[in-house]
Structures are given as structure tokens and as C-alpha cells.
Amino acid sequence: MSARAPTDAVAPAGARPLPLAGLLTIAAAITGGLGLWLLVVCATVLPSRDAAHEPLWLGAAIACLAWSGLAFARVRRGSRRGLLAASVLALSLAALAFGFGALVAAVRRTEFEGYLVVIALVLVAHAIVSIASLALGARSAAAR
């Protein structure tokens, strides 16, 4: 009786590993941490200091957590096509736009806000890894 690797239990037999799975897992973990941090900020800081922006950051937190969960699911299932891959692509494109918008906003501000740069870099990096993984996965699937 041979021991099976953990990925054998979720990926179909003979399936190739998802391209950039390790990087995508790291990016998803960091994005999930960002989402949790934003939830804490929404619950503790924003109500007393900037309640007007609380819905924006709460939405960003929920989006980060959802995107992170979908990315983890995609790595676990090895999904290269279908609804899961399309959802990850849609959220990745939205995060790329939001991330670049946050970078532009951070640069244009008279008061530097480092947290915007950190959030933007996390979102842009995760989006690039997700989109590259999707592109490489589609390419490897087409090559078979």
C-alpha cells in the first residue's frame, strides 16, 4: 500500500499540478490576512475616526476574503476552466484595477498613506499571479 500525497486526494489521477500553485497559495494567504486586518480596522478604528469610509473598506475586506477563498479552492481543485476559474479571473481583474487606482491615489495625495501602498501591492501581486496561473493553465490544457 503506497502513501498518497495530499494533492492526490483532490486532483484527478494523472492531472498536472496547477501552474504557480505555490505562489497562488501564498498570495491567497496574504490577501486573506489583508481581508481579516481590514475587518478589524472596520470594527475598531473606522467607527470613531472615519465612519464615512467604513462601507468602502468593509466591502474591500469581504472581497479580499472571497477572492482568497476562491483562490484556495482553485489550487485545491486544480481548476483550469469553468465557473471557479472565471470567478477568480473576474476578481483578479477587479483587484488589479482597484490596486492600481489605490497606487495612483497614494501617489497623488499630499499626505502619504503607507497602508494604501501596501494594500495596492498585495492586490496587484495576487492579481498578476492569478492571471498568470490562469493563462498558463489554459495554455497547458490546450497543449494536451
- How much is the mean pLDDT over the chain? 86
Q: What percent of the chain has pLDDT over 70?
A: 84
For residue 46, what are the contacts with CB-CB under 8 A and spacing of at least 6? Answer: 53, 54, 57
pLDDT at 96: 95
pLDDT at 140: 65
Cell numbers linked to 18: 496547477
Q: For residue range 15-32, list pLDDT tens digits in order.
A: 566 778 999 999 999 999
DSSP labels, the chain: -PPPPGGGGTSPTTPPPPTTHHHHHHHHHHHHHHHHHHHHHHHHTHHHH-GGGHHHHHHHHHHHHHHHHHHHHHHHHT--SSHHHHHHHHHHHHHHHHHHHHHHHHHH-SS--HHHHHHHHHHHHHHHHHHHHHHHHHHHHHH-
* pLDDT at residue 109 is higher than 80: yes
**Distance from CA of residue 81 to its chain's centroid?**
17
* pLDDT at residue 121 is higher than 80: yes
**9-18, 61-70, 121-130: segment of lowest average pLDDT:** 9-18
Q: For residue range 84-104, list pLDDT tens digits in order.
A: 999 999 999 999 999 999 899
80 with 18: CB under 8 angstroms? yes
